[in-house]
Structure 1
């Protein structure tokens, strides 16, 4: 993305901003015949359109309140519902510990504004969620990549934030064990950092036992949510609807109050009618929506893993996520996924190259595949085509030189 005029008096922050590679890809991959493994977009057949239509109709009969300004903290019944759900999941809280946001993406922006000054240390996994890197980069932090092993965590100096997607991470699909979560929390305490737990995919588990959230572990250790240091970022985008843009932050009341002030300056409040509709749907059918999503996505994940088992060339590794929407491929080091994407697009196959998920320009030999939006047959055929292209790239690489075709 470029600007037409070089003389606009832009801020230093604006010069640091870069377009999302995924958002740019979405503009291209809508052409007919494209098999897209790029965006982690929810399956639209899961949206209960009839229930949403009825919920909007009910909201609009409420004397116009749904079309009025509302409190910055969020619609009280929705905050109360979220607080009850979080409490049931081991995060004992009340509505004063919940701020409704314009999707969990806004939560990341608000948190960045609250904590980050230029040069502050921000610890992340590598790779990590591109949207978080975009959001936090605006505040010019010093990114520190770290893996939280259960027995030994790399030491570093003070840090402001530790950002993690502990369940079925975007992009890798990996899940932190309980010991790794505890290690990350212990590191944050030593570093004086706030933990940002991005729980966008936590409900989408297809196998195995659910693990306690980092917020729940933090509260169990510290004694209460107000003594904890974790900000839990949740969203309804992956379970009910991404288009309504409703998410939340749950954490110590003192931090929620400060985040609320920043949100007031940003947008006053999240759309009243959307919050009311989400509350109506969540109150009556949240668990059912989650179960339907799990059943559908589990089948698509299985189809992708089976196709990779059949077709992936030797030397190509991939994760086996227990949930979420993504599989992460690791190619031999001499292959460049950006070059591979250009060739794949000629065959109507799209994915996200790995560099987008690293702060240091590494990850060229990685790529992210999403299975959320394609039927099993399309997944199998698309993976077969992609792996055929990888075979060609590997042979070309063996013949000499860095290549992907």
Structure 2
């Protein structure tokens, strides 16, 4: 069978994730990995989940937990999420919330809902490679989103028209973004809403790291600012994607979309066609653990990750050669390095694995056009402080040798 001859044209846009390949290195005990942005399993609320699953399977919720459920998601969980959204200035009801199998599924659904072949998607440069993977299958054209306002709506519109395209949405991670760790300030969020209004497009707000702030003042989500402008969530254009993966446990695959009800209604139809609903028992367990101790869990992981971030930033100051710069994130899991022009992160990774046994993610994978090869992403979430110091020392040795 010549499978390439029968695959849909969109399959040519599906590429293997460099991060997923790098995760295989974690099985090698001598590798120091700053690669995957993976929560530390030692910080999972394991006992709380054990109790939650025991309660669910031995109590009155047992039948509901093992049965088919509504596509929108477990009602008590959606009610709890609505309460959390209220704390962020996002006034909504459960009708504005759909539970998804992680926020990654939400990105796939939104790509499917909004993109026709050759439509233009505005993304930051760099951007989350998982978003590119989700959108690629729907065959968009990518253009660079300048969140600082350096490009006008007319320029975006004209560039799209030159490609026989039209701008369909902007995708952005505004808090401690993957991969850079950077945060978009409030004026930048307001400018993005202005641009979205001028282009009459939605904004996909990826809030996977929103809870992981260690320094500085919290900034209202774009959806909250959108509601301030328009008075009601059903009049907004922002699509907020949340997740429990970075705060409670990624393996349960529970995320959500919070958006205007007409969008949620369409997404529900897609959910019904794709997998009917997310795992009911996992939703019930997430609800029990979150409702009893979400803030306590966030506080615990914030202390640990904040210390690791500080350790990595200090180690970079000590060991990096001249000409290397890096971001200083207020939260999240990542530090972004920019190397001198002409250096190649992918080549450096191969040398690093061979000579230093340190893994990281080459930066070009986060660019829609594969550019800026002189960049790399480091994650501090899984390594302890001793390992971070040693890994950065080795990496500094490698870069100095170059």
Fold similarity call, TM over 0.5: yes
Superposed CA deviations along residues 224-277 of structure 1, whole A, max 9, x for unmatched, are: 100000000000000000000000000001100101100110100000000000
* Counterpart mapping for 1:136-155 below 5 A: 136-149=135-148, 153=152, 155=155
Q: Out of 354, 361, 375, which is 1:352 matched to?
A: 361
SS in 1 for 2:252: coil
TM-score (norm 2): 0.95
Rounded to whole Å, the distance in 2 between the matches of 1:348 and 1:187 is 45
Give the corresponding residue for 1:388: 397
Give the corresponding residue for 1:332: 340
Superposed CA deviations along residues 113-167 of structure 1, whole A, max 9, x for unmatched, are: 1110011111010000000000001101111112211576563115211000000
Rounded to whole Å, the distance in 1 between the matches of 2:309 and 2:83 is 31
Superposed CA deviations along residues 156-197 of structure 1, whole A, max 9, x for unmatched, are: 115211000000000001100100001111111111111000
Give the corresponding residue for 1:173: 181
Q: Are the structure 2 counterparts of residues 185 and 339 from structure 1 closer, same or farther at C-alpha, using a change threshold of 3 Å? A: same
Residue ranges of structure 1 left out of the alignment (5+ in a row): 394-405
Superposed CA deviations along residues 62-88 of structure 1, whole A, max 9, x for unmatched, are: 242100000000000000110111012
SS in 2 for 1:249: strand
* Counterpart mapping for 1:316-331 below 5 A: 316-331=324-339
TM-score (norm 1): 0.94
Give the corresponding residue for 1:123: 122
Question: Would you say the 8 A contact 1:150–1:179 is kept in 2?
Answer: no
Question: Would you say the 8 A contact 1:147–1:153 is kept in 2?
Answer: no
Rounded to whole Å, the distance in 1 between the matches of 2:168 and 2:197 is 11
Higher fraction of helix: 2
Q: CA RMSD in A?
A: 1.2
Superposed CA deviations along residues 324-363 of structure 1, whole A, max 9, x for unmatched, are: 0000000001111110000000121000001100011202
Name segments (4+ residues, structure 1) moved above 4 Å. 4-8, 150-154
Superposed CA deviations along residues 15-66 of structure 1, whole A, max 9, x for unmatched, are: 2100100001111342111100000000111111111011001111224210
Question: Would you say the 8 A contact 2:25–2:31 is kept in 1?
Answer: no
1:265 corresponds to 2:273: yes
* Counterpart mapping for 1:99-248 below 5 A: 99-149=98-148, 153=152, 155-157=155-157, 158-248=166-256
Q: Out of 6, 23, 33, which is 2:20 matched to?
A: 23
Give the corresponding residue for 1:400: none
Question: Would you say the 8 A contact 1:33–1:348 is kept in 2?
Answer: yes
Give the corresponding residue for 1:85: 84
Q: Are the structure 2 counterparts of residues 63 and 29 from structure 1 closer, same or farther at C-alpha, using a change threshold of 3 Å? A: closer
Q: Out of 381, 394, 402, which is 1:372 matched to?
A: 381
Question: Would you say the 8 A contact 1:151–1:183 is kept in 2?
Answer: no
Q: Are the structure 2 counterparts of residues 278 and 110 from structure 1 closer, same or farther at C-alpha, using a change threshold of 3 Å? A: same
SS in 2 for 1:324: coil
Of 59-68 and 261-270, more deviation after overlay is shown by: 59-68
Q: Are the structure 2 counterparts of residues 29 and 363 from structure 1 closer, same or farther at C-alpha, using a change threshold of 3 Å? A: farther
Residue ranges of structure 2 left out of the alignment (5+ in a row): 158-165
Rounded to whole Å, the distance in 1 between the matches of 2:176 and 2:320 is 22
Of 28-37 and 118-127, more deviation after overlay is shown by: 28-37
Question: Would you say the 8 A contact 1:153–1:183 is kept in 2?
Answer: no
Give the corresponding residue for 2:35: 38
Question: Would you say the 8 A contact 2:336–2:377 is kept in 1?
Answer: yes
Rounded to whole Å, the distance in 2 between the matches of 1:361 and 1:238 is 27
Rounded to whole Å, the distance in 2 between the matches of 1:261 and 1:142 is 26
Q: Are the structure 2 counterparts of residues 290 and 108 from structure 1 closer, same or farther at C-alpha, using a change threshold of 3 Å? A: same
SS in 2 for 1:161: strand
SS in 2 for 1:234: strand
Rounded to whole Å, the distance in 1 between the matches of 2:40 and 2:98 is 27
Rounded to whole Å, the distance in 2 between the matches of 1:339 and 1:373 is 24
